[in-house]
Each structure stands twice: as C-alpha cells, then as structure tokens.
Structure 1
Amino acid sequence: MLPPLGALRVFEAAARLASFSRAADELHVTHAAVSHQIRQLEEWFGRPLFVREKRGVRLAPEADRLAEALSMSFERIAAEAESLKLRTKSEITVACIPSIATRWLIPALSEFLTAHTEAMVKVVYATAAQHLRETGCDVLITLGADTSDGVQCTRLFSRVNKPVASPRYLDGKGSLTDAEEIAAADLLHDETTAHWQQWFTKAGVAPSRSRRGPVFQDFNLLATAAIAGHGVALCPVEVCRREIKNGDLIVLSDISVLERESYFLISKVSRQKAVAAFCDWFQQVVVPASS
C-alpha cells in the first residue's frame, strides 16, 4: 500500500529545500498546507520525518533514504513526461531572419501545412546574433552556426555576395561589366559600407564613391531598393536565387565577398516529431537548387 502521493510530493520538496516555507512557495500552497501534509504522512509512517527546531526543520536521519528515492523518482517522471510531451507536441515556433522568411519560408509554408494538417506553425523574427536557446523557439533559421550543446545545426547555403542590379537600372547605365564601371555606379549598402570596401579591394580598385549611397538596416529594404532600380547592391546570391532566375536582378560580376559565411537551420537534438518534419521539409525547399 502506497502512502498518500500528494503528501509524498510535499515531503520531497520540504526535504530537498530543508524548509516548509520554501516548499510552500515552490508548490504554490500555504505553509499550513505543507505542515498538514507532513503530519498526515508522519501519521501514516507512525514516526516523525522531520526534526522541528526554532529556526526551521531538518530531515530526520531515518527519512533520508526515502527523500533520496523520491527525488530520483520525481526527476525520472519529469524527464519521461517532457519526452512524451516533445513526441506528441504539434505546435512549432520558428524564429527566422527576415531575408530568409520573406524569400524562402513564407512563400513555401502552405506546402508544409497542407502536408501536415495537424501542425500549428508560428513564425517570429530572429536576429543574426541569436542562438536557439535565446529565442525560446523550436527552430532557428539564421546567419551563422550555433555551436551550443544539445542543438543540431544544419548548413543551408552560402552567404556569398556579388554585385547585382535590376534591368531597370542597367537600362540607363549600361551593362556595368567591370569593377571600374561598378565603382562609378550608385551603390546601395546593407547595414554597413564595409562590404563594398572589401569587394573593391578584392577587385583591385579604390573608388572614391564606395562610402556613398544609402545604407539600409534591413536586407529586405536593400533588395527592394535594388529591384526598384535605385542602384547596385551586394547581395547573397543564394538568398536572391529566385529574383536572379526571374530576371528581377542581374549578377554583374563573379567577384564575391563573404564566401566563408553561411545560413543555418538549427533545432534541438531531442526535437519532437513535428519539428523534425518541419526541418526535413525546409531543407528540401532550399537545398536542392543551391549551388
């Protein structure tokens, strides 16, 4: 015959914390409720489980093994419950940087939802500097790897940047086939002018206008300006794969920068089935067409 299970939970907390008051706070009950449950359990065992002292309580020596066994059991129950929750949960929260969200995730998301009608997906913004644990989400799609323990990090594609411009802009400027011509063009910047500085250094020119032109805080703003014909932008060609294929943007040079950086799909190693299905699907969306 088992002792009262509710009283055992109270006893474990009081023994672990060495305090009825702290146990009450942890369990969100009153001090009187804890005292009542402990007395009930002591009556069941026919012996005191705690030594009452002026400044609090301490565990009776003969109750030590019971407290240890209960702590181990509750930890195991909690772990199994969390595992079951992960295996059955169908809600997926995805943190995604805006450039990937607008070009790859959102346009294709209906395909995933059609194939997984039980899934509920929430998409929130991420920044390139965040790690998965900082977002509190199930999935993170971002620029840069996450090397934290307990996460699975999968490379999607490269961040290689090349100069691009829209046909509308080139109609008035010509083909812009070499670095000197690009140097004289209207330059658009993504967050900083440093990337254009790197590009011109690699191309072997030192344009006086490389620091001029508007700077856009968000890549989507930069891409919109480039497509609208406002100038030449350095863009990650894999991110803009569709715009380039459709002719909305034209790559002006094979000289590139940021070749060592990549975009990644990140999730927990112990991910639930719905998250695993989402990750597998998204990799199929973006990876097969990459170079």
Structure 2
Amino acid sequence: MTARLPSLNGLRAFEAAARHLSFTEAAVELNVTQTAISHQIKRLEDELGVRLFIRQNRALALTPQARDYLPGIRAAFNDLRLATDRLLRKDDNVLTVSTLASLAAKWLLPRLSAFQEAHPGIDVRITTSRALVDFKAGDVDAAIRYGRGQWPGLRADWLMADQLFPVCSPALLRGGRPLQCPEDLAQ
C-alpha cells in the first residue's frame, strides 16, 4: 500500500523555505504572506508527523529528517518544472549539445556550418562543460564525452578514436638526463 501524498502547497512551501532558510523569502517567492508559509509548514509537519524546521531567534535550520527529505522533494519539483517546460516549449527546433570546450572548438564548430546547411530549420546551441550531463534536470539534448560509452540509461554512439602521443619541452631532450625512451620518464 502506498502512502498518501502530503499537501502539494505544503511541499511547495517546505521546498522554498528550505532553499532560502527563511519563511519570509519563501513567502515573497510564492507570492503569499509569511504567515501563510508558516501555517502551511505547520500543517505539513502535522500531516507527516515529523518536525522539519528548527525555529531559532531570527534564524531557521533544517532538522536532520528535513535534510534527508529535501533532495527528493526538490527533484520532484524540478521534474514538474521540466515536464511543464517541455509541454509548453515552442522551441522544438532547438538542438542543445554539450561537449568539452576543446572538442567544440577543434572538432564540432568546424562541422557546424555543413550541418546547418543540411538542416536549416534546426537551431544548434552548444554548451561546454566537463561535467556529465543530467538529461532529466537540464535542457541538453545530446552530449559528446570521452569514454567507453557505458552510461546506464543512455544511448551512446562511438564518434572517433583519440590519438595520444607524448610531448615534452625541448629542454628535457637536452638536459642532464635527456629523455630518449619511455622508461626515462621515471626519472
């Protein structure tokens, strides 16, 4: 048997107040009074049977239970926002690609004009980042990363192999112990 969901307004008040650590700032964000936030939080705490905030003199802190609860609530609201954005998005012809800055500059951008000539109705946006992409939380449609392509829940297609080769300063070739073979790197 699944548990009954608590009040959505209470959860919204909790998420905003936890993010700001302030009932007043949560009230401003949600366009209600500070008293309304306080009442919604109190009702939510009663409904859950769990204290969520420690109310201190002019300060607010999360209880350990609230710190555990918050990531799931925050993710649920982010999923709702994302689903609503996708539903209402009028930018259906935008393809957002995330990649490393070096790959974007040296490989992707030189090929972009040919893609745009072949697909003039698609607006390509490129973002650069080294971090792995969370496709549920962001606006990225595709990502290009180095690796073996074994990312659970994602489709990965091989694009190219890397060419790796050593380089060094010319001074290291002329020094007291010049580099002549790979074993010399140990020195």
Structure that is richer in strand per residue = 1
**TM bracket (short chain):** 0.3 to 0.5
Larger Rg: 1
RCO greater where, 1 or 2, for CA within 8 Å and sep 6 or more? 1
TM-score, structure 2 normalization: 0.48
